[in-house]
A and B are shown apart, each in its own frame.
Chain A
């Protein structure tokens, strides 16, 4: 999937407009606003973990992110609502198992978020 290059404007404390040049030198494309859905730590953790694993269960994510049941559940639901992750529920024998998988939209959003962070770092370093 092609990664979008970021060329965004950010108004800093001085009010001066700075341009964040595109990542990997591609044609500049407006990156839009910071993705608040995955900017939150637990949600960013869920999306990052699922980016390298096909599926992960609720308990695996809970252990990995050191989150509580309630906290993970709330954040996972927000990601589901944004259609960044899909959730399937099934039974392993008598034990219920909830599994999460990253959607194509979720993967694009993570890549765009990474681009955004890289662009911010470049812009502040170049200053």
Chain B
């Protein structure tokens, strides 16, 4: 049987040893939780969402009524949320982290509030027949959600948020008929591009 050197060079009381060991374990846990911010955003999940958004843009462009167009995008948003939740859970499980660790909780809260505001605005604009502004508003609100939530994540996430915000602003300034193009560009191509970068640099 071998001897273990005490934590410090001098001999220590058991309580002191225990306190040091607990402190080390707490430090490991905190570091792992903080590093979780690097893993909580699912890159591959974003790529899949981007592909479904491209398909949704193609389908939406072929709808003859505003209601059918709106339903297409609402179905896509529900699908995107499902894929996002599933891929985040999968990524957290693979990393051996709880889904709602410290940074992930902050991200979820900061991300969900602008999305909730966007949902309310969607209802307001739709009920007043101002559907043409929805693509710009969706891109802007999603960008805000990503940029604020991204404050607790790697720097690439808020950058993605700002890109969406710029696209949203551009959509407001362009003809209403370009709505599906902006949606395909934002929720499709930008999402896929950043998804690939996150997957490559931040572990999936």
Contacts and interface: CB of A to CB of B under 8 A. Distances in A.
A52 B18 contact: no
Given A9-B2, A51-B32, A121-B18, A44 B7 contact: no
Interface string A32-44: 1110000101001
A56 B17 contact: no
B193 interface: no
A53 B18 CA distance: 29
A87 interface: no
Given A34-B5, A60-B38, A55 B203 contact: yes
Contacts, number: 112
A30 B28 CA distance: 23
Interface in B22-67: 22, 24-25, 27-28, 31-32, 34-36, 38-39
Interface residues of A, number: 40
A106 B169 CA distance: 48
A117 B31 contact: no
A32 B3 CA distance: 7
B203 A54 contact: yes
22 contacts: A8-B2, A8-B3, A9-B2, A9-B3, A10-B4, A11-B3, A12-B13, A33-B4, A39-B7, A39-B24, A44-B27, A48-B27, A52-B32, A53-B35, A53-B95, A54-B203, A60-B154, A64-B31, A114-B25, A117-B21, A123-B14, A124-B21
